[in-house]
Structure 1
Amino acid sequence: MRFTLSLVLFLLFLFQCSSNDSNLIPQSCKEASNHDPNLSYDFCVSSLEANISKNNPPTKLEDLVGISIQITKTNGTNIIANILKLLNNQTFSQYTKACLKDCFDLYKGSISTLNDAMVAFKSKDFGTANIKLSAALDTSVTCEDQFKDKKGEVSPLTKENKVYFQLNVISLAFIQMFNQHT
């Protein structure tokens, strides 16, 4: 009887622990989106859940900060590859190609900036991490805005810029939450 009771209590404890872990992403995204009007709860949850390892799920907010920065870096690297493909498109005007080249440089620099943000976060320098993430966030805005400088130009990167912006917002929101909870 004692063994059965101990087993039941142990299983309940395990269930509670795994339940808390499985709620980490939705709970964190909810808190973040409640404090940041630029952050979509659904985007936050789907982005993180699609990119986490099922074998090694995050167990605390600190894990989510690192994961969100890594997802943003991967996304930025994919945008760079897409820009290189777009530069080979002969139908774009010289103005569009010049904007794409600028966007390439911006995104390339933002990958380095995100690396710096990760180093700063790991060393508990939240101010620098915040500054670096904000700079990376500006990449997508600057890239998109330059296409608007010439009437009639349409950015071929609008969707990518919006996603990159949102991913950066997630990282910024999580760092601010982590800083407040420590």
Structure 2
Amino acid sequence: MKFGSFLLVFFIFLFQSSNGSNLISESCKEASKNDPNLRYDFCVASLKDASSKLQPAGTNLEGLVGISIQLTKSNGSNTVSMISKFLKGKSFDEYAKVCLRDCYDLYSDSLWDLDAAAVALKWKDLDTASIRLSASLDNSVTCEDQFKDKKGETSPLTKENKLYFQLNVISLAFIQMLRQHY
């Protein structure tokens, strides 16, 4: 009896895992067709990894949006920590430190925007969720661009800004897809 129960649980888990994997693949495929800023491979890899670490992917697109927002928030929190370490060090000139302080504020604000987007998603207020996600996305672009204002200055956050931008794009693309389902 115990072995039969184990098999049943195993097959249910296997079925749900493949459904979550299918949901991720199909959603990323559809989203990447409709958004030139979204790369299919990046979308799938990010969400498969995140869905195993954050929470079950669920069986619907709304669950994936929630996971993508959590993933973006986790990435943004890591970036805030990195910026904080940069500011404590002595590797940057005064101009770069001003930019880094601005980036710190931008990313901190962005985390608040992601929280607001998650709440709006729960209430099925897709307009507010979309606005908050767009603001979060813009903050990474603003952070990167300000380093370009001084000739010869390079951003130490280019990789992080690009990643954060891409993660926000996933959430925004999925919100657009949700609009079609409501």
Q: TM-score, normalised by structure 1?
A: 0.88
Measure the CA separation in 1 of the matches of 2:12 and 2:102.
54
Identity %: 63
Contact 2:57 2:67 in 1 (8 A): no
Q: Which residue of 1 aligns with 2:143?
A: 143
Misfit runs of 4+, over 6 Å: 12-17
Output aligned runs, 1:116-135, within 5 Å.
Answer: 116-135=116-135
Report how many residues are paired: 171
Measure the CA separation in 1 of the matches of 2:86 and 2:14.
49
Measure the CA separation in 2 of the matches of 1:18 and 1:91.
46
Q: What letter is aligned with 2:95? A: Y
- Alignment partner of 2:52: what SS? coil
| Rg (Cα) greater in structure | 1
- CA distance change for structure 1 residues 162 and 97 in 2, over 3 Å: closer, same or farther? same
Output aligned runs, 1:16-165, within 5 Å.
Answer: 19-53=18-52, 56-165=56-165
Query: Unpaired segments of 5 or more residues in structure 1?
Result: 1-11
More displaced stretch, 21-30 vs 61-70: 21-30
Measure the CA separation in 1 of the matches of 2:52 and 2:35.
26
Measure the CA separation in 1 of the matches of 2:149 and 2:14.
56
Measure the CA separation in 2 of the matches of 1:172 and 1:76.
16
CA positional deviation for 1:18: 5.8
- CA distance change for structure 1 residues 13 and 105 in 2, over 3 Å: closer, same or farther? closer
- CA distance change for structure 1 residues 14 and 48 in 2, over 3 Å: closer, same or farther? closer
Query: Unpaired segments of 5 or more residues in structure 2?
Result: 1-10
